[in-house]
Amino acid sequence: MGSDFAAITAAHRRMYWSVQPSQLHAAVLEHTRLGTALLGETAGRCRTILAAALAESYLLAGRIGFFDLQQPKAAGSAFVRGLQAAGEADDALLGAAILAHTAFIPGWAGHREDAEERMSAARTYARRGNAPALMLAWLDAVEAECMTRCDDTRTALRLIGHAEDVLAEGDTDEPCPVWMDWFTPVRLAAFKGNTQLIAGHTAQARATLLAVLDNLPADDGKQRTIILGDLAAVEAAAGKPEEACRWANEALDQLSMTWYAVGMDRIRDVRKRLHAWRNEPWVRNLDDRMYGWGTTVSALQR
């Protein structure tokens, strides 16, 4: 029973990068309801396997709710249930991953102290679970993004530098949990490029993000949208509106294939930066695409 449930959980995890978020979210939520009901009917090793898979399912539900559907309250509830299931499984690394994800909620809202407290808890669980170097670097990256959102890019860049050191000095062949498929050294560089952009280090951000784009896997459509949006923002900040629109249009091309609400937010931010050039033809063309039928309907469906 536990193994069958875990197999479906793994299938949902792999689908995250390609399936319409609202459809996958519904399937994952139904799966968590089943898992919760089954948990009361199992014991021993089967219960541990089931509880770990249930925790992973709730983590995925929270990720979709927060990043794809922009429903932080629902995501927070999923994370709490996931943490409870991780406790049933006594899986410290799952607990660390879930707690770090909960830090995004106050972090993105600019509530620094709450984000820091949740990251402290996540690091505690990571130590208990002897987290591998890649996971420790990811924790730095999460906190760096939260600090960036809280307008402390200096601390964020320091954390990213520490993460780079962890990866350089640690055992990168050390196995990570199979469910931790959202972070790589390339993803760390993506975090860095965004923080450099927000810190005003335009030239450094451009170089970092172009290198990320060159090394990003072809099937990583959601992250590609983020990188393209950030490159558009770099050129807007550099006073190059036509180049900014070119990158923004590439991001919209990617969004038409793989919808990602956070990616669309990046493009909206770029458009705000382009306000001074709003009457130029390339900006008007961007507006026509941003408010086309496909993107508008996708935005409403999230």
Cβ-in-10-Å burial (0-12, 13-18, 19+) of 80 comes to: middle
Range with the poorest average pLDDT among 142-151, 231-240, 255-264: 255-264
Instruction: Calculate the average pLDDT of the chain.
Output: 93
List Cβ neighbours of 76 (8 Å cut-off, separation of 6 or more). Answer: 62, 102, 105
- 8 A C-beta contact, residue 198 and residue 153: yes
pLDDT in tens, 71-108: 999 999 999 999 999 999 999 999 999 999 999 999 99
pLDDT in tens, 102-128: 999 999 999 999 999 999 999 999 999
Range with the poorest average pLDDT among 173-177, 220-224, 293-297: 293-297
Question: What is the pTM assigned to this prediction?
Answer: 0.92
* Helix 133-149, helix 153-169: angle, nearest 10: 170
Measure Cα distances from 157 to 30, 93, 110, 153, 258 in Å.
40, 25, 17, 6, 29
Q: Which is more confidently placed, 90 or 302?
A: 90
pLDDT over 70, % of the chain: 96
- 8 A C-beta contact, residue 113 and residue 104: no
Q: What is the average per-residue pLDDT within 18-31? A: 88
pLDDT at 301 over 70: no
Q: What is the pLDDT of residue 298?
A: 58
Amino acid at 96: A
Q: What is the pLDDT of residue 3?
A: 79
pLDDT in tens, 33-72: 999 999 988 899 999 999 999 999 999 999 999 999 999 9
Kindly report the number of other CB atoms within 10 A of residue 268's CB atom: 13
